[in-house]
Amino acid sequence: MDDEYSAGRLLVFTGVFAALQVIFVALRMATRVLNHKAWGWDDIVILIALAGQLGMAGTMIGYIKEGGIGFHAAYLSRTNPERLVTGFKYSFVIAVIYVVFVNVPKFALLLLYNRVFPKPLRANLFVRLLMVFLILHTIGATIALVVICHPSTVDFDYIYHLHSRNCGNIQGLHDLYIWESFPNIVSDVAILVLPVTVIWRATMDNRMKLGLAVTFSMGGLGLIVSILRFICYYHNASTTDPSWAAVTLEIYTQAEIGTYLICACLPTFHPFLNCSFRERHAPLPSIVYNGSPTHMPTPMPAPGRNLGPDSFVVQEAHYWADAYGSDGRSKDRLYGISYWFDTVSKRVRGLNP
């Protein structure tokens, strides 16, 4: 039957996933407020990413209601061809929103890394290079999408008429839809590996390393969704039934950006971090919220390493020297690894303003 309809699942996914993203961002902001944390640029960028996702969700609902998504193209061409063209217009707007906002939550995560990692660390250079890469990729993909067929001046018939006079590069447009997402996979791998390498080289308890590595590795969910979206577009971008195939494509499109956004929130959550492996240690009275230490204990050297006084592992050695007494026994109070995250971050910022 060519009058089948499949967009119901897209509507449900859009509503539920948008609400889920709002909840995660709200929890992130609540964590900042309740723990009296200063807001950083990463928090502002996360709000921008959420605004983009809500804009995409609203556009998607319009696509479902007016654009004929979920019906077979043959059925729409026979019963309501104008609705098919309207659907292509919505599809183009969603594509623009995607290329503009897909890198925004990843940029927020890099801003968090830049704030936590000490400045002398080599990882900071890679963080900034990745930031530049994301900016250039966003600008290049947006310009290419807008100018490749000058869609603002045509009636969008070129999308389903392969030899339309309105677009002499329709194959290029289809290729762009497929391959502009491939750099996302490359950047995802880099963003995933970067914090794990820093954590794993640090001097701390192995269980603590594993807990932090797992927390930061949650960004791998975004990588998985990005790969799935790339595969889906590769097989369906040139389909002869675009309004039907678009349901799955648009679900992956929303899921990719939304998963990035959620993963960018996870490292800031005390509840999530405290669910990881815990370690018994005492608070550090020498650290205050402005990052200025009033007391600096003697560092506990990392064996076998020639490290400068401001290196990341030496700062962690300061942390462990405070957390354990001279007899090597852990002090009484129980804290999660979120306390480590905050403490090391403050101490690093205090020593490396």
If asked whether residues 263 and 315 sit together in one domain, one would say: no
Stretch among 76-80, 155-159, 252-256, 275-279 having the lowest mean pLDDT: 275-279
Phi/psi of residue 74, each to 5°? -65, -40
Domain-terminating residue out of 259, 274, 289: 274
pLDDT for 238 equals 62
Cβ–Cβ < 8 Å for 315, 118: yes
Task: Determine if residue 291 is left, alpha or beta; phi over 0 gives left, psi from -120 to 50 gives alpha, anything else beta.
Answer: left
Which distant-in-sequence residues (6+ apart) come within 8 Å of 89 by Cβ? 67, 156
Token couple for 302:
């990392």
Domain assignment present for residue 2? The answer is no
Whether 183 and 316 share a structural domain: no
Same domain? For 221 and 300 the reply is no
Residue 62 lies in a domain: yes
| Domain total in the chain | 2
- What's the pLDDT tens digit per position in 306-346? 444 444 444 444 444 444 444 444 433 333 344 445 554 55
Residue 38 lies in a domain: yes
Distance CA 6, CA 52 (A): 25
Does one domain contain both 58 and 126? Answer: yes
Which residue intervals of 160-241 are DSSP H helices?
170-179, 182-201, 206-216, 220-236
What would the two tokens of residue 67 be?
């654009």
Q: Of 256, 274, 292, which closes a domain?
A: 274
- Looking at the fold, whether 112 and 182 belong to one and the same domain comes out as yes
Q: Which domain holds residue 222?
A: 8-274
Domain edge (last residue) among 274, 296, 326: 274
* Nearest partner of 321 among 267, 281, 275, judged by Cα: 281
As a whole number, mean pLDDT of residues 344-349 equals: 49
CA distance 173 to 157: 13
User: Using one digit for the tens of pLDDT, what is the confidence trace for 233-276?
Assistant: 888 766 778 888 889 999 999 999 999 999 888 877 754 444 33
Residues 6+ apart with CB under 8 A from 139: none
> Do 111 and 151 have their domain in common?
yes
Residue 328 lies in a domain: yes
Regarding whether 117 and 227 lie in a shared domain, the answer is yes
Please report the pLDDT score of residue 63 as a whole number. 94
Looking at residue 1, its pLDDT comes to: 56
Residue of 260, 265, 80, 291 whose CA lies nearest to 187: 260
In-domain check, residue 292: yes
Residue written as tokens 């678009």?
A: 246
CB atoms within 10 A of CB 61: 16
Q: How far apart are CA 207 and CA 18, in angstroms?
A: 34
What CATH number is associated with residue 147? 1.20.1070
- Span 17-59, pLDDT tens digits: 999 999 999 988 888 777 766 777 888 999 999 999 999 999 9
Q: Computed from CA positions of residues 119, 120, 123, 126, in that sequence, does the dihedral angle turn out positive or negative?
A: positive
| Same-domain status, 93 and 212 | yes
